[in-house]
């Protein structure tokens, strides 16, 4: 049974995330937390875009907000997102990690620490190696690792780095990731 899904994306991520979320049913129970590398001054158009294009409940992470089922949470621009033991969010303006804030690794490390084997980590398109060490940590703690096939990614560097570092269980295209998450959601009911 899985209690959370964390997803990281960078270059090309907006449409990759949309394509991953669109097939998910409106009653998808496992909470999803997403870090998409954004400009620090971004208005986070992503939440509005995904709410228009999917049937899911999508919102930007708020400080100390409890993580609930049937929700998709998006990291706000210029803040790292961490998960606390009581399954609430903490936002941090600490130094950039892998040249990024929000950093995928920061989210993945804290989620792996809280959810252990009940966590799914997903690395999508991106032009750096953020997420690779975080996905390794998820796998080391017993969680499931999924990476977008580099050849199907707009920017293959991030998925390629995650494959080398984390040796994920699945290296598949986005449509297959969506099918797999739907199957995992059914098993978690």
Give the residue numbers annotated as catalytic, written as ranges: 10, 37, 130
The tokens for 175 are 């449509």
C-beta separation of 111 from 33 below 8 A: yes
Region for residue 70 given its phi and psi (left: phi exceeds 0; alpha: psi -120 to 50; beta: otherwise): left
In 3D space, the residue among 145, 129, 138 whose CA is nearest the CA of residue 97 turns out to be 129
Q: Where are the beta strands (DSSP E) in 56-182?
A: 58-60, 72-74, 80-83, 89-92, 119-123, 144-148, 170-172
* Distance, CA of 80 to CA of 18 (rounded, Å): 21
């Amino acid at each position: 049974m899985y209690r959370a899904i964390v997803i990281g994306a960078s270059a090309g991520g907006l449409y990759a995330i949309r394509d991953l979320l669109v097939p998910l049913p409106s009653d998808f129970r496992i909470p999803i937390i997403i870090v998409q590398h954004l400009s620090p001054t971004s208005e986070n158009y992503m939440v509005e875009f995904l709410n228009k294009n999917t049937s899911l409940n999508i919102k930007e992470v708020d400080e100390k907000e409890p993580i609930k089922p049937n929700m998709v949470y998006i990291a706000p621009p210029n803040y790292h997102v961490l998960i606390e033991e009581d399954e609430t969010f903490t936002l941090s303006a600490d130094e950039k990690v892998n040249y990024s804030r929000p950093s995928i690794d920061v989210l993945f490390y804290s989620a792996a620490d809280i959810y252990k084997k009940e966590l799914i980590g997903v690395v999508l398109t991106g032009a750096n190696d953020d997420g690779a060490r975080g996905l390794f940590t998820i796998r080391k703690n017993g969680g499931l690792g999924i990476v977008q096939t580099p050849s199907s990614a707009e920017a293959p560097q991030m998925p390629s780095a995650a494959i080398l570092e984390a040796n994920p269980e699945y290296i598949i295209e986005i449509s297959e990731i969506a099918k797999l998450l739907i199957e995992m959601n059914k098993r978690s009911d």
